[in-house]
Amino acid sequence: MSSTTSDIQAKLAGFSTCEISDAMIKLGSPNGGYIPDINQFSPSGNETRICGPAYTVQMVLGSNKDAPKLSSHFVDTAPAGSVIIINAPDKVKNAVWGGLMTAGAKSRGALGVVISGRCRDLAEHRDASFPVFARGHSTLGQSPFTRPSEVNIPVIIRSSDVSEEDFPAVRVEPGDWVVADEDGVVCVPVTKAEDVISLAAKGREVDARCMEDIKAGKGVQETFKKHRGK
């Protein structure tokens, strides 16, 4: 019998992003679901982990007059309980998320924001204890450099410094599970969530046995061969 959505969310939230990536690799994912180069900027400390369905936002260059335009601000339409995923154009130096957006997202019940791009107003995010994960930060705001174009569409997030041949892009569909913590950000397709949970649980058990043996003085190679078969 399949789990409910809330069950899946609770179980996924119990695993680290590292455990989830390991499970994704075992399922044949070429990138382990890892959304590269994105790290935690807020809140301070290492206790934060968010897990929720993706609400996607595609940004375009401000000079792009052909791309669609939104009728409402994307923060105003963010569903409660969602993780906002923003995909900004490559190599732009401006922020696409600031303190006012954090205030709006928090008031609407969003769990956090993951930005393939930059944020600003770091102190405001931290004062609000709102989870912000990004590739970097800036003093510059959106205008006139970028603008939001579409929401709730599939977004393709690429590495900032290597080719897709070296590290395949991650496709995030609206509603996919996004988990983020101090180690990074992963995306779990809805169709793979239950298999990821099962494999992550098994991986945790194996790692616990490895840790016990290594702390007891056994060699890492010997331990890996015993418990992992390699």
Annotated binding site: 98-101, 120-121
Instruction: Report how far apart, in Å, the C-alpha atoms of 13 and of each of 10, 51, 180 are.
Output: 5, 5, 9
Rounded to an integer, what distance in angstroms lies between the CA atom of residue 150 and that of residue 131?
A: 23
| One-letter amino acid for residue 228 of the chain | R
* Three-state DSSP state, 143: coil
The β-bridge partners of 150 are 58
Q: Which residues belong to the annotated binding site for Mg(2+)?
A: 121
Q: Which residues belong to the annotated binding site for substrate?
A: 98-101, 120
Residue 40: count of CB within 10 angstroms of its CB: 23
Dihedral sign computed on CA atoms, order 179, 132, 170, 160? negative
* Three-state DSSP state, 120: coil
